[in-house]
Amino acid sequence: MDAKSIGNTIAKLRKKNGMTQLALANKLDVSDKAVSKWESGQGYPDISVFPRLAALFGVSIDYLMLGEK
């Protein structure tokens, strides 16, 4: 679990669902710059965002954190 792999997973799920970074940011009440930062591996979403991300994409929190491993 590192910022780069979590970011890659978020980006993959976002694109699979046909969303822009701005659309995802709006659904999570964060900035599109925050989403960009996550996806580029420069930071993590706040812990309170993980359950919302998981619900939005229909995956587990474990999947978000560990990817397809």
Which pTM value belongs to this model? Answer: 0.92
The pLDDT of residue 69 is 52
CA distance 17 to 21: 11
Do the Cβ atoms of 6 and 64 come closer than 8 Å?
yes
CA distance 53 to 57: 6
Per-residue pLDDT in tens (0 to 9) along the chain, 69 residues: 789 999 999 999 999 999 999 999 999 999 999 999 999 999 999 999 999 999 999 999 999 998 765
- Residue 16 makes CB contacts below 8 A (sequence gap 6+) with none
- Residue 48 makes CB contacts below 8 A (sequence gap 6+) with none
